Structure formats: structure tokens, C-alpha cells
Amino acid sequence: MSLPSLETTPIPGLVVVRLDRRDDDRGFFKENWQREKMLAIGLPDFGPVQNNVSFNSDRGVTRGIHTEPWDKFISLATGRIFGAWVDMREGETFGATFTLEMDTSVAVFVPRGVGNSYQTLEDATAYTYLVNEHWRPGISYPALSLDDPTVAIDWPIPLTEAIISEKDQNNPALDPLTAIAPKKTLIVGALGQLGRALHAAHPGADRVDLFAGEGVTALDLTDSEAVAAWPWHEYAVVLNAAAYTAVDAAETAEGRVASWSANATMPALLAGLARQHRFTLVHYSSDYVFDGTVPLDPGHTEDEPLSPLGVYAQSKAAGDLAVGLAPRHYLIRTSWVIGEGKNFVRTMQSLAEKGVSPSVVDDQVGRLAFTEELVRATTHLLDSGADFGTYNLSNGGPAMSWREIAQAVFERSGRSADDVSGTTTEAYAEGVLAQGNPFAPRPLNSALSLAKIRATGFEPEDALVALDRYLAR
């Protein structure tokens, strides 16, 4: 059978689908819902979980206007209807209406927040609809009077002659105060440097972390009861900035457990919740999932096989695999993150101001990723509707060693680049181990290919330009 066709309407997201109905002397056949074909014509992959049938014995049955908290895909098995829809969502199109006569060859996708109603034009009309939430008792949702003068629906059969339930006869008038807000954003790991930067860009987002803080709710994602009680269905996007980042401490018995819990188990849990509640999961990963043995040009690509070296790296790689199972996900791999608080750049700046001349590793090469750049790329992916999947992200410019970055900081602090000497990772590791401290192996090449993120229309800012702005704060 051929593809159905899709028609837009004045209500954003509300679309009409013309189905390929095949008629003969026996009756008709149609593919009422065929996922691949619906996606091919641009219908969202809304994940239906329940199919309902409302059979109406008589012409003139009128139901609505109801705004249930889920998406619907409406069609008819028999009969004809006059359908009417009202946008009940916050925004410029609040109160916008659309009406349509439907027979069995027509379907309509109704997004969450759009009021839905219909009037049967024939006896024995079977109205069917797919929804992407299971019905459960106690759900409340806005409704609108069928004869509301503001929307002024021109019902074919006068409402005085229609068959209407007592409940629908007492629905309220249109009220902007009851407009339905969009689903929210949740920041997980809100107290970390990336979590704080994400909040600056999403000031209205809900925020959780292992411990409560100002405006941050405590949520332990290892607590099954706490996770089950959290209202995940209220979110459109979950930004997971939580991570265990103590790379060397992860090599200890205690650190190994903590690293796997935060970096592997929690992302796997969030991926399962994303699948169940259909939110978009944004997860931040690390260059450490690679062993650093590829050439600098082009650097690590998104489809390179995982090759983690240490415990931290292995736990991050496991998290990547888990997040990849979420239907709607952006896995952002980054490197050498710099945000507000204690970090390599601030440490070098402090040493320069104090007159110290440090020795810094010069055989590890990569690019800095400032948290504001991570936030900017995240916003771009979400707002542009980029394909779901994995994206490398750091600031742009040439790859640099840690020593070269330290030298750049020294020069911008009024010191000579020659005041920063070099050492090898091996020599640095020997010194750490000699003091009885753990040391995790590092990838020597952390440079990430940025070709894929650039193909979406995002151009990473040069790392040295971002460094100048960062040091000037």
C-alpha cells in the first residue's frame, strides 16, 4: 500500500493524515497505523501504548472538549464525525481552533494539550484512538464548554439537538489561567559545574542532586522508592550532568563502586525511564571511553569502537552503551571540561599569580570544553531537532597539550610561557604512585573529531577565544 499523506493545520502539531483506503464490493481495507510509514511522512514517533474504541449508537452524539495529558491518534472504524480541536496550551496559539469532517479514510494526530471533541454524523460510528499513556484513575485535565463563544465551533447538529453527557454540559469557558504549560526540563547533577551552567541556560528547570541545595531537591537515583515516586511523566527533557569524575580514586575499592554507580548504573536507569516516559535524555560522556591511540587528525570519531583503559573510563563506556538504548537521546562526548569552581585553568592561573613555575604533562593532547560551550551545543541539538545519537563536543581550534594550555594561561597572566616546564605522563604517574596514591591510565590523544556536530550547523568556538573570556571574569 502507498504512503498516507500529511496535512498541517493552524494548531501546531495537530496534523491530518489521509489514509490509503482500498475499497471493493466487500467493504474496505486500510492500514490504520503503520509506524514506519507514519514516521516517513513526518508524524512524531509518539509511542502508543493503549488503543481505545468509543462506539456511538446514534447520530448527534457529541463528546468533549477534553484535554487529556497524552498524545492521540484518532481514526474511525465505521461512520462519520465532525471533529473539533482547540489549542489549550500556553503560547500564541492558545484558543486556536480547527474543525474537520472525517470518515474512515482520515486520521488526526492530536498532541498533548490540544482539546479534543467530536460529533457523530451517522448512527453506529466507531471512534478509535491510540494514546501514549495508560489510562489511570484519578487523572484530572482541563475541559472546555462545547458552546464556548470565544472559540465559536459551528457544530453541524445544533447542541440543543445533540446527545451530550451531563458532565460535558457543565464544562467551563475558555480561561487563559488554565492554559497547559509545556512539559518541563529536569537537570540531574545540578550542583556540579556543568549542572550549574545548564541551570543558567534553563532557569525554569527542576533540579536534583544527591544532596539538597538552594533550589535543588535531593534525589538518590540508587533509591528505587524515591525514583518510583518521582513524576518523570512531567518532563520533556532530562539533562544528566551527574558523574563520578575522580579518575584516580576510581581505581580504589570504594571508588570503583561509586564510579560504576554514578557513571553506568544511573545512566542505565535514566535510559529506561526515558523509554517508559518518552522524554529526551541528554547525557554527557568523556574522551576517556577511548584509549587515545588514533591519529590527531581527525581524532576520535563517534563511531570508533570503545576502548576504555581505567575503571572510570570503563564505567563511562558502560553508561554510553546504556544511554544508547533510550529511543530519544543525545549522548554528548566531551573532553577536558572547564567550568566555574576548581579546575586546571584556575589552578594554573593561581600558580602564575603566586610566582610558581610548574611542571606540566606535555604528551597528553586534546581540546578544552568550557561548560558554556557544552550548554550552547545542547541547546542547539534540542532546538534544531538534530538526529538523536552520539555527538563529540569540545571547543574548537588546534589540539593542545596540557603544558601548552598552561603556557597560554601563564602568558595571559603576565608570565612567560617558559616558566612552565614539561614532563611525561609516565614520569608524573611514577611520582603519584611513589606517594602511595592511585593513578589511572590516561588516553594520550583526547582530541575529538567535531565533524558531526558541525554538520548540524553548530560551529564550536575556538578554545583560546573562550579561554580569554574565561580568564577575564
Provide the annotated active-site residues: 66, 129
What does residue 80 show for φ and ψ, rounded to 5 degrees?
Answer: -140, 150
CA atoms within 13 Å, Cβ hemisphere of 357: 8
First-to-final CA distance of the chain:
62
C-alpha cell at 182: 509545556
DSSP 427: H
**Checking phi first, is residue 311 left (phi over 0); if not, alpha (psi -120 to 50) or beta?**
alpha
For residues 180 and 88, is the Cβ–Cβ distance under 8 A? Answer: yes
Q: SS3 letters for 125-168?
A: EEEEEEECCCCCCCCCCCECCCCCCCCCCCCCCCCCCCECCCCH
Distance CA 120, CA 101 (A): 10
Coil/strand/helix, residue 76: strand
Residues 6+ apart with CB under 8 A from 55: 124, 125, 126, 127
Query: Is the bond preceding residue 149 a cis peptide, omega within 30 degrees?
Result: no
